[in-house]
Amino acid sequence: MLSLCTPFPRRAATILVVMQIIAAHALAAGGSDKSATPMTDIAALLQVQSDVQKLLPQVRLALVAIQTGGGTASGVIISADGLLLTAAHVPGAPGKDMRVILEDGTMTTAKSLGMDKTTDAALAQLKKREKPWPFVSLNREVAKAQPGEWCFALGHPGGFDKARGPVLRVGKIVKQTANSLHTDCVLMGGDSGGPLFNFTGEVIGIHSQIWENRDQNVHVSMAPFLRSWDAMQKSEIIKTWGIGAGGYLGVATVMSDDVELAVADVIEGSPAQKAGVRAGDVILSVNGDAMTDQQQFTATVRARAAGDTLKIKLRNEGKERELSVQLAQKPQEEGQ
């Protein structure tokens, strides 16, 4: 495993542009075996290229390069008053001053706020200025970032290079966990803290780690940020057993023979039991979103903090019912 900060002032010469990435995907889709079924047709790839070309001018203005200590990393501005998302291992602690470089090469400063070191999520604040900061929106529907969806990564691998500009890599989500997204977007040193976007131009992840294989690039999802937002703005460090672990429902689930998400067990005294969830219930939806697998359900629950209320639609013996469940703090003896 590697983190993505790069010792300053190392520069990367690699320039990756949209067409190169699209071509790589086309090759991967068709390969040299012409008898193989294409994974993605050319028309779809051209549409991907067109979508990215439209989005890039809007989102690149919010991308920043970060210099802190002896390393260089990336970040993204997500509000007009200069709130900045990055990876926790970039500043390392709240209250750190960081040098920030904007799209046009302008330098300014930011101070790190709170962070969740367990998931590698961190918030920072740019210094005030007279005009609004350029910014992008967050995707708050965490569970909708599903494997197979197109996405693209931006960052300053190797550090800021005005002549080269930011580096963009197109790929797909290959896995979602409670706190992270794994993609095949190629990441390099210096990408740490940079944004992963969906194809509506919303931030769905923050670059965190690279592993050995090309499809093992890990991005912090928006879940840790959203559930700990207030604490991060107060410069708090989120503890594993605090709200950073997400809300606690208290059910075990299993996929039924009919490929439905079913409740296998309900923990004694849990919020689920108090609300009336029973073993054998089929979970149809949460807050109106259809639940199709365990991973999606886990991510949905853990994206909410203790105290949040979920509306869960269930079916049992042909009868449907909807329950409101207030999530609790996760008991330590239940583990992660």
- Known catalytic residues? 89, 120, 192
Phi, psi of 116 (to 5 degrees): -115, 100
Whether residue 9 is preceded by a cis peptide bond, meaning omega within 30 degrees of 0, is: yes
Say which residues have a Cβ less than 8 Å from residue 222's Cβ, sequence separation at least 6: 138, 139, 140, 142, 203, 204, 205, 303
Quick one: three-class SS letters along the chain? Answer: CEECCEECCCCCCCCCCHHHHHHHHHHHHHCCCCCCCCCCCHHHHHHHHHHHHHHHHHHHHHEEEEEECCEEEEEEECCCCCEEEEECCCCCCCCCEEEEECCCCCEEEEEEEEEECCCCEEEEEECCCCCCCCCCCECCCHHHCCCCCEEEEEECCCCCCCCCCCEEEEEEEEEECCCEEEECCCCCCCCCCCEEECCCCCEEEEEEEECCCCCCEEEEEHHHHHHCHHHHHCCCECCCCCHHHCCECCEEEEECCCCCEEEEEECCCCHHHHHCCCCCCEEEEECCEECCCHHHHHHHHHCCCCCCEEEEEEEECCEEEEEEEECECCCHHHCC
Which tokens is 260 given? 């439905």
Identify the sign of the CA torsion 229, 110, 192, 20.
Answer: positive
Which tokens is 330 given? 């996760």
Which residue is it, tokens 């690039």? Answer: 217
